[in-house]
Amino acid sequence: MKNYIQQLNKAFENRIRLGIMSILMVNDRVEFSALKEMLDITDGNLASHISALEKLEYIEVQKQFIGKKPNTTYLVTRVGKKAFNEHLDALEKLLKQRD
**Rounded average pLDDT per 10-residue block, the chain, 99 residues:** 80 96 96 96 96 97 92 97 96 81
Distance CA 83, CA 59 (A): 11
- At 96 the pLDDT is 86
Whether 46 and 39 have beta carbons less than 8 Å apart is answered as: yes
- At 3 the pLDDT is 78
Distances (CA, A) of 25 to 2, 15, 20, 21, 69: 28, 15, 9, 6, 26
Domain 9-93 has CATH 1.25.40.10: no
pTM recorded for the entire structure? 0.89
- At 46 the pLDDT is 97
- At 1 the pLDDT is 47
Distance CA 97, CA 29 (A): 35
- At 99 the pLDDT is 52
